[in-house]
Structure 1
Amino acid sequence: MIEFKHHTADTLADVRQTVLDIHAEVRHRDFGLTAPFYDVERFDERLTAYASRPGWSAVLGYEDGAAVGFAFGMPLGPDTRWWRSMTTPLPAGYTDETGTRTVALNEIVVRKQWRGRGVAQRIHQAWLERRTEERVTLLVNPAAGNGAVQAVYEAWGYAKVGEQQPFADSPVFASMTRPVRIP
């Protein structure tokens, strides 16, 4: 059985190394992502930046004491840069943020031995259950798993709204959204 532990920026220090270790294991060893964008140091810089935003939260899943994966993100405030790197235009008002409209799922990562068992979806739901925003957005590399990762998000109710490249050395991601609560 998977146990979930929720964290805020105040308790990030307690789990930072676990998050970094899982990132390195999955991104580097499992998926062979070795470009500078995926370096642990760069990931840690992004983690620090995300956690510095109001409302950042994370959930880690554990089975028999072993960390199996994590998800984290933060609400998009009125000053967000989230939508600025869109390469496709969005409808008027779509990118208007208030701090309570949209939460960004920055990362969701599950270790190999727990993949294919619905663990990612449970971590995702455990993270969302404490969110109060209207919608959730995420970025996915459409090439990941030859499109299989994006298909998983579509099965979870996400729809692609466009593409963006948030960093000069990052992939071009599919930008996806869905309501936080799906009836």
Structure 2
Amino acid sequence: MTTHTELELRHYGHADAGAIRELLLDIHDEVYAGSDDPLAGRDAFAKFVDHWSANEAFACVIAYDQEQSVGYAYGAPLSPSTTWWAKVTPSLTDDFIAETGARTFALSELMVRTPWRGTGAARRIHDDLLASRREQRATLLVHEDHFKVCALYESWGYEAMGEAVPFDGAPRLCVMVLRLKNSAD
């Protein structure tokens, strides 16, 4: 485990997507090396990177420790036509799932390379990404079998809202929501 605690947190957006794409994929490949998850392969994950980064409101934070990449988090606001909430069980109220394009930030990915795990790097990256968000809340999905990860997010203030299998081939995921303190409402 690294002892460096000074991280440089760099912000990127939609216009930077092409420049950071390979780095995002390379870190993902390292983090998921040896995984038997069919969605963990580079080609499958690249589709997610491309989908999220195509959103003009895409936001990404990449952490560096002395110019070495540590990890990242990225996402984008849910659009009014999102299907994010469609397969959540138990069903959520219409008021809860109504999206405006500025109500909910979907945190699509948060990952940290092994040498920096357990150092607080994930929390710093997460908090930095969400610090300037104006949405009312953030949401994320966690594999339901990853109990420690779910508990970690709960310790950060997230609340489990239900479960979902968002698309064919996806595992059962825990749907979590965090009220953002800096929201405009």
- Normalised by the size of structure 1, how large is the TM-score? 0.93
Checking the alignment, whether the CA contact within 8 Å between 1:87 and 1:165 is kept in structure 2 is no
Q: Distance in 2 between matches of 1:155 and 1:140?
A: 14
Runs of 4+ displaced beyond 4 Å: none
CA-based RMSD of the aligned residues comes to: 1.4
2:180 corresponds in structure 1 to 180
Using the TM superposition, give the Cα deviation of residue 41 of structure 1 relative to its aligned residue in structure 2, in angstroms.
0.7
Count of residues paired in the alignment? 178
2:69 corresponds in structure 1 to 67
**Larger helix share, 1 or 2:** 1
Using the TM superposition, give the Cα deviation of residue 72 of structure 1 relative to its aligned residue in structure 2, in angstroms.
0.3
Using the TM superposition, give the Cα deviation of residue 130 of structure 1 relative to its aligned residue in structure 2, in angstroms.
2.1
Do structure 1's residue 157 and structure 2's residue 162 form an aligned pair? Answer: no
Moved more, 32-41 or 117-126: 32-41
Moved more, 46-55 or 67-76: 46-55
Matches within 5 A, 1:42-121: 42-121=44-123
DSSP-derived class of the 1:44 partner = helix
Using the TM superposition, give the Cα deviation of residue 46 of structure 1 relative to its aligned residue in structure 2, in angstroms.
1.0
Q: Distance in 1 between matches of 2:37 and 2:139?
A: 24
Q: What one-letter code is carried by the residue in structure 2 that aligns with 1:165?
A: V
Q: What one-letter code is carried by the residue in structure 2 that aligns with 1:9?
A: H
1:12 corresponds in structure 2 to 17
Q: Distance in 2 between matches of 1:58 and 1:78?
A: 21
Q: What one-letter code is carried by the residue in structure 1 that aligns with 2:171?
A: P
Give identity over the alignment, percent.
Answer: 37
The runs of 5 or more residues in structure 2 that have no matched partner are: 1-5
- Normalised by the size of structure 2, how large is the TM-score? 0.92
Q: Distance in 1 between matches of 2:94 and 2:60?
A: 31
1:23 corresponds in structure 2 to 28
